[in-house]
Amino acid sequence: MIKFESSHFTEEDKKKLFSFSRREKRSIKRKMVNPNPNVEKLFGFKAFCKWMGITNPNENSKSLYNSGDVRGRFAESVIEQLEGSNAIIADNQNTKGFDIDRNGILAELKTTSTLVTTPSTKKYQTCYLQVGGLESKRTKCHEIIILDLVNMRRFCIPHDDFFYKMKFYDVKKKGIKTDISFRWFGDYDPEKYYINGDYRSKRASHNTALIQQYEVI
């Protein structure tokens, strides 16, 4: 039986743990692009099982790990324990503008564990990663930490570089902009063109090239 020992998990989280899509179950098997062994050591499946006290991993524990919400909370807890103040900022940290206080440096942590794939993006090799919930973080933190848990890579981007150099996508509800999201190509290759030489996505190509300048090796 899995025990939930971290205070970062709410009762609502626990109710959602075993509701997983086939896409999430398959994500653990995808080939990684230039994974960082240090990131995988901290946030990979084996580390997750150890942290959760899972002694006999099975398909259920793999599905649990592949849930974006669960993996994100796990990664947040690990970074907080290793680098932060070890103080829980709030039950729902998304309302505060930052997740981790690292010796006075306020960091917002964003994780992605799903490669967005459609028949079109698969055909043209433009599958992408994305993080959202960003607008409320503007001016509220010093840096953005992005964990790509598909490829096991970590990026640390100063606030101004992130919000003023990156290109964003509007998130709308009923035609009204409510937030912004950040996307980049999941294979980390920005050179994707139409036959006429135009970029397939100027924003995604720009972001893919730029984010790699902030990778934590």
In one letter, which amino acid is 6? S
d(CA 164, CA 48): 34
Strands 128-131 and 143-148: unpaired
d(CA 40, CA 217): 12
The terminus-to-terminus CA distance of the chain in angstroms comes to 36
Asked if 28 and 65 touch (Cβ cutoff 8 Å), the reply is yes
In the numeric block, the tokens 């309302």 are attached to: 95
Distance of CA 54 to the CA centre of its chain: 23
Write out the chain's pLDDT in tens, 217 residues.
Answer: 334 444 455 666 555 554 444 444 444 456 899 999 999 999 999 999 999 999 999 999 999 998 878 888 899 889 988 987 765 554 444 447 788 888 889 999 999 989 999 999 999 999 999 999 999 999 999 999 999 999 999 999 999 999 999 999 999 999 999 999 999 999 999 999 999 999 999 999 999 999 999 999 8
Instruction: Classify residue 151 as exposed, middle or buried by CB count within 10 Å of its CB (0-12, 13-18, 19+).
Output: buried
d(CA 210, CA 122): 23
d(CA 150, CA 130): 11
